[in-house]
Amino acid sequence: MPLPRFDRLPAERREHILGVARRHFAEHGTEGASYNKIIEAAEVSKTAAYHYFDGREDLLTAVLDGVLDRLLDALGPWDPARDEEDFGARFTAGSAALAAHLRDHPEDLALADAAIGRSDGSPWLDWFGALVTDGRRLGMIRTDVDHALMVSATAAVVRAADAWAVALMTSGSLEGLPEGDPPDQLWSLLRGLWGAAATAAPGQEPNDAH
């Protein structure tokens, strides 16, 4: 995390530095971006930079934390749904808002996987954990699969679907999809994942397939 002196900078200056860093990491990758080039582009001296951050990894963490915060802001908080219809409507709205944010913020799109992965999954998976718990309460999500596995699988499907939807939106290829628009296809895919318990694997008794 940034050092205390960075937090005391004016908000506009902090955002400028993080914005420059975000652009470099998005363009050159989290491993390829040069710390020296970032601070030079941000017009920060090397001496000042080390008063703001412990080094390159500290700056990268600050950038990725900001990306993750914006992804979660786009999704919005998950509160218990009234019923299955309300659950579906709010999930569709949240996933569409996330896809729109990623479309409109290509740097966040480029860094989304890194932000989710480096966060240990906690804030990101907490959101999907609340969703899965609520879906099970409503009888919409199968309970024969471990909760943590279902949460991870749901989050992975949503992330893949958002990347796919953004690619379609930016290429203008949304028209003519054979099975409906992206929200419909995502919902169909998730309902398959969440659906009735699978039959037992060969050699298993049905009540052992947990």
CATH of the domain at 21: 1.10.10.60
Same domain? 73 vs 160? yes
Per-residue pLDDT tens digits for 26-40: 999 999 999 999 999
Does a structural domain hold residue 203? Answer: no
Domain count, the chain: 2
Q: What are phi and psi of 148, to 5 degrees?
A: -65, -40
Is position 204 within any domain?
Answer: no
pLDDT of residue 182: 60
Residue 127: its pLDDT value, please? 94
Q: Is residue 11 part of a domain?
A: yes
Instruction: Measure CA 33 to chain center.
Output: 22
Where does a domain end: 12, 39, 63? 63
Q: Longest C-alpha distance within the chain, in Å?
A: 67
What is the pLDDT at residue 196? Answer: 57
Is 105 part of any domain?
Answer: yes
Same structural domain, 179 and 84: yes
What pLDDT is stored for residue 116 in this prediction? 87
Q: Where are the beta strands (DSSP E) in the chain?
A: none
Q: Please report the pLDDT score of residue 197 as a whole number.
A: 52
Residue 72: burial class (beta carbons within 10 Å; 0-12, 13-18, 19+):
middle
Instruction: Indicate whether 171 and 78 sit together in one domain.
Output: yes
Helix ranges (H only) for 76-195 are 84-104, 106-118, 122-137, 147-171, 182-194
Tell whether 166 and 75 lie within a shared domain. Answer: yes
CB 4 within 8 A of CB 52: no
- The distance of Cα 2 from the centroid of its chain, to the nearest Å, equals 22
Specify whether 55 is located in the same domain as 103: no
3-state SS, one letter per residue, for 166-191: HHHHHHCCCCCCCCCCHHHHHHHHHH
- Is residue 147 in some structural domain? yes
Position 172 scores a pLDDT of: 59
Q: Is residue 151 part of a domain?
A: yes
Does one domain contain both 43 and 73?
A: no
CA atoms in the 13 A half-sphere facing the CB of 7: 5
Q: Are residues 134 and 71 in the same domain?
A: yes
Residue at which a domain ends, from 63, 83, 109: 63
Residue with tokens 């709010």: 90
Same domain, 48 and 115: no
Q: Specify whether 55 is located in the same domain as 91.
A: no
Q: Are residues 35 and 131 in the same domain?
A: no
- Indicate whether 53 and 127 sit together in one domain: no
Domain boundary among 21, 41, 63: 63
pLDDT at 202: 38
* Confidence at residue 121, expressed as pLDDT on a 0 to 100 scale: 59
Report how far residue 93's alpha carbon sits from residue 26's, in angstroms, rounded to the nearest whole number. Answer: 27
User: What's the token pair of residue 1?
Assistant: 């995390």
Are residue 160 and residue 79 in the same domain, yes or no? yes
Range of the domain at 15: 4-63
The separation between CA 3 and the C-alpha centre of its own chain, rounded to angstroms, equals: 26
Q: Is the pTM of this model over 0.85?
A: no
What stretches in the chain show pLDDT beneath 70? 119-121, 169-183, 196-210
Tell me whether residue 207 is in a domain. no
Per-residue model confidence (pLDDT) at position 187: 85
Q: Tell me the C-alpha distance between 106 and 198, whole Å.
A: 38
**Within a domain: 137:** yes
> So what's the pLDDT on residue 163?
80
- The single-letter DSSP state of residue 117 is H
